[in-house]
Amino acid sequence: MKQTLTDISTSARILGALFYYSPDAPQARGIVDALRAPGWEREWPWAFDAALTAGFRASDAEGETLAQAWQRLFIGPHALPAPPWGSVWLDRESVLFGDSTQALQRWLRENAIAFETPPQEPADHIGLLLLLAAWLAGEGKTRELEELLAWHLLPFAPRFLEVFCAQARHPFYVALGELTRATLGWWRSGLAMPVAQKPLYR
C-alpha cells in the first residue's frame, strides 16, 4: 500500500501541475521537458497506450504554441471547451462555486485540511484536486484520499476528460487527457469505497 500511495502522490502531482499551471510556469516547465524526453513512460506506475507519448513531444499544432493552447483551454477569453471545475459539471445551473464546491469545502473543514486557493478560484479545479490527492497520498492519509477521489473527483472527472480530449486539439493536451483517463481508471479500480453516483449536467 505504501508504494501505491507513493505512486499516486507522484503521478497526481505531475498531472495536477499540468492542468493547473501554464507550461511556462516554474511548477510545470520541468515536467513538460521530462514528458518530451524519451523513456519516462517506462517509469509510469500504470499501463497506458504508449502511442500517446508522441503527443507530449509535439510543440506546436495548427500554429498554436503549447502556452497558447493552455490559455485557450483554461483561461479564455472565449468560453472554455471543457471547464476544469467540478461544479460546472455537477451543478444543475453549471455554475462556479455550486453545491458540489460547497460540499468539498465542508469536507475540507471537517477533516481539518487547510487547502489554500487563490482568490476567486474554486477548490474543485481538476488540477487543484489532483494536487490535493498528491498531498494526501504523500502524507499517508488513505481514508481522506479515498473520500476525495470517490466523492469529489471521480464523479465528474471521466466526463470532463472525455470532453477535454475531444476538444483539446493540441497533441500535448490530448495526450495529457488520455494519460489522466488511464491513470484515474487504475486509481478507481483500487478504491475500497464505491464512487458516488452524481448526475452530470454537461
Residue pLDDT, tens place only, 30-59: 999 999 999 999 999 999 998 999 999 987
Q: Are 20 and 127 in contact (CB under 8 A)?
A: yes
**102 assigned to some structural domain:** yes
Q: Which of 61-65, 104-108, 188-192 has the lowest mean pLDDT?
A: 61-65
Domain count, the chain: 1
**199 assigned to some structural domain:** no
Contacts 24+ apart (CB under 8 A), 59-62: 59/172, 61/169, 61/170, 61/171, 61/172, 62/169
**197 assigned to some structural domain:** no
**97 assigned to some structural domain:** yes
Residues in the chain: 202
**38 assigned to some structural domain:** yes
Residue with cell 483517463: 181
Q: Are 85 and 102 in contact (CB under 8 A)?
A: no
Rounded mean pLDDT of 89-114? 94
Range of the domain at 113: 1-190
Q: What residues have CB less than 8 Å from 148, skipping those under 6 apart?
A: 107, 129, 132, 133, 136
- Identify the DSSP state of 153: I
**198 assigned to some structural domain:** no
Give pTM, 2 decimals. Answer: 0.96
Residue pLDDT, tens place only, 159-180: 999 999 999 999 999 999 999 9
Q: Are 114 and 155 in contact (CB under 8 A)?
A: no
Check whether 62 has a pLDDT greater than 80.
Answer: no
**182 assigned to some structural domain:** yes
Residue pLDDT, tens place only, 102-123: 999 999 999 999 888 877 889 9
**201 assigned to some structural domain:** no
- What CATH number corresponds to the domain at position 112? 1.10.3480.10
